[in-house]
């Protein structure tokens, strides 16, 4: 749960239409900012197409439910060149970000710091509400 909230919070402000950016405002239902890479993956197979935003192609999904299912499949099984990587390194936000965001992308250190901060906040809120978290 913390993994989902943290990454979707960092990528699209949990799908907020005002804070989530142009990809969310496009109606893509792509809350994890998954770049389009075809339909030959478990998550890509759920895609309804692609949309071009900020010079890149991104998956689109027919509904929020399908978009979230696709994101879950990416996190559980992806990326294609490192199957199962995300769950195998969680909760190491630096390792996750190195692949999900890109370690050579400008702003990488700030992105990792933001993930750590959001993760701590979500973990505390969930624990305070009586949930157990990893």
Residue 41 DSSP label: S
Radius of gyration from C-alpha coordinates of the chain: 14
Return the structure tokens found at 9: 């919070």
Q: Please tell me the distance from the alpha carbon of residue 63 to that of residue 48, in angstroms, as a whole number.
A: 9
Q: C-alpha dihedral over 85, 48, 53, 7, to 10 degrees? A: -30
Over residues 38-55, mean pLDDT: 97
Q: Is 113 helix (H, G, I), strand (E, B) or coil?
A: helix
For the whole model, what pTM was predicted? 0.93
Q: How confident is the model at residue 92 (pLDDT cuts 50, 70, 90)?
A: very high
Alpha-carbon distance 66 to 74, whole Å? 12
Rounded CA separation 26/7 (Å): 19
Architecture of the domain made up of 2-117: Orthogonal Bundle (1.10)
Band the pLDDT of 118: cuts 50, 70, 90. very high
State mean pLDDT over 13-24.
Answer: 95
Query: Would you state the structure tokens that stand for residue 59, as one six-digit string?
Result: 């998956």
Dist CA 41 CA 12 (whole Å): 22
Q: Where are the domains of the chain?
A: 2-117
Q: Is the pLDDT of residue 104 over 70?
A: yes
């Amino acid at each position: 749960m913390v993994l989902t909230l943290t990454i979707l919070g960092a990528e699209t402000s949990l799908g907020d239409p005002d804070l989530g950016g142009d990809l969310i405002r496009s109606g893509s239902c792509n809350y994890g900012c998954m770049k389009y890479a075809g339909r030959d993956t478990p998550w890509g197979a759920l895609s309804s197409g692609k949309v071009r935003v900020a010079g890149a192609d991104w998956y689109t999904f027919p509904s929020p439910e399908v978009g979230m299912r696709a994101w879950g499949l990416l996190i559980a099984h992806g990326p294609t060149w490192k199957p199962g990587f995300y769950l195998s390194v969680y909760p190491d936000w630096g390792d996750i970000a190195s692949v999900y965001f890109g370690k050579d992308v400008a702003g990488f250190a700030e992105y990792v710091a933001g993930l750590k901060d959001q993760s701590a906040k979500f973990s505390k809120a969930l624990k305070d509400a009586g949930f157990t978290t990893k």
